[in-house]
Amino acid sequence: MKWMVSLIALTVLLGCGGRLKQLAVETMENAQVTLTAATEAGAEETALTTWQTAQEMLTGAQTAMEAGAAERAYRLSLRAYLHARIARETALAIRQEALVQEAQAQLKMSLQRVAEVRQRLDTVKAELEALNER
């Protein structure tokens, strides 16, 4: 009976370990894809610390997986994924903020031009009225 319980316990542990290893591998792949997307978004320049942390955690996860520590690899890869997402979103937000500032500057210039044109128009109208009164 003890032998049977031990066999079932071993089977459950091996089955869960295989799933955890697969989950760790998939999470590492997701972290790598997200890290690549963060790099493409410019996170190396705009969110360097978070991007570096994600890179280091992913490297740590790969090392843990090679050492057979699937649970540690899963945890590190999940944290790497989250840091990569934060780095990507930060980079995108900074890019969007720069675009907004550029658009605001262009709008300000356009409004100045409109004011100048209106002033010229008012001047021309006044000159026209003066000519009509003569």
The domain ranges of the chain are 2-103
pTM score over 0.75: no
pLDDT over 70, % of the chain: 87
Rounded to whole angstroms, the Cα distance separating 114 from 119 reads: 9
Query: What's the pLDDT at 2?
Result: 46
Please, are residues 24 and 79 in contact by the beta-carbon 8 Å criterion?
Answer: no
Query: What's the pLDDT at 17?
Result: 59
Rounded to whole angstroms, the Cα distance separating 20 from 26 reads: 10
Which portions of the chain are predicted below pLDDT 50? 2-14, 16
Query: What's the pLDDT at 6?
Result: 39
* 17-50 core/surface letters (b: 16 or more CB in 10 A; e: else): eeeebebbbebbebbbebbebbbebbbeebbeeb
Query: What's the pLDDT at 97?
Result: 95
